[in-house]
Amino acid sequence: MKIALASDHAGREYRKAIGADLASQGFSVIDLGVPDGVESADYPDYALKAAEAVASGACDRGVLICGTGTGMAMAANKVKGVRAANCTGELMARLARRHNDANVLALGSRLLGLELALAIVEAFLTTGFDGGRHQARLAKLQG
């Protein structure tokens, strides 16, 4: 599975740790920044890069990190075909996948400990979509 990974300056350290963890598990990780040395970065710029990679099919899923995860999710959801979920726990991540077929995960580095963030990423990447009654609801989202 190929994962688009991006952050702003607030999520840089978590992005590096998550990327290393995913690579150690055999995932293909496409790191879309923010580059080292950038003191302040606009999260929409980096969310858009990752969201477009997922929407185009270049990547299977995306993981975005900023201070709260909210801005990244809002920006990513502007891209047609992206269903980004800002998750603060493993159950939220599992349900975002099972019920909403979320394809992008947003995390807040200022709200989550790194161990929890890693567990949320694992839950998100290892959970499938239930389909069935959820498919009809998903079709409504896709308009």
The domain ranges of the chain are 2-142
Which of 34, 32, 44, 38 minimizes the C-alpha distance to 4?
A: 32
Q: Is 66 a catalytic residue?
A: yes
When the pLDDT of each residue in the chain is averaged and rounded to a whole number, the result is 96
Cα separation, 12 vs 86, whole angstroms: 17
Q: Is 59 a catalytic residue?
A: no
What would the pLDDT profile of 127-138 be if each residue is shown by its tens digit?
999 988 898 888
Sequence-distant (6+) residues with CB within 8 A of 136 are: none
pTM assigned to the model? 0.96
User: Does 22 score more than 70 pLDDT?
Assistant: yes
In this structure, whether the domain defined by 2-142 belongs to CATH 1.10.10.10 is answered with no
* Backbone torsions φ then ψ of 99, nearest 5 degrees: -100, -30
Place of tokens 């598990």: 25
- Burial class, 140, CB count within 10 angstroms (exposed 0-12 / middle 13-18 / buried 19+): exposed
Whole-angstrom distance between the N-terminal and C-terminal Cα of the chain?
Answer: 27
| Catalytic position from the list 59, 66, 87, 134 | 66
| Catalytic position from the list 9, 59, 87, 99 | 99
What would the pLDDT profile of 57-101 be if each residue is shown by its tens digit?
999 999 999 999 999 999 999 999 999 999 999 999 999 999 999
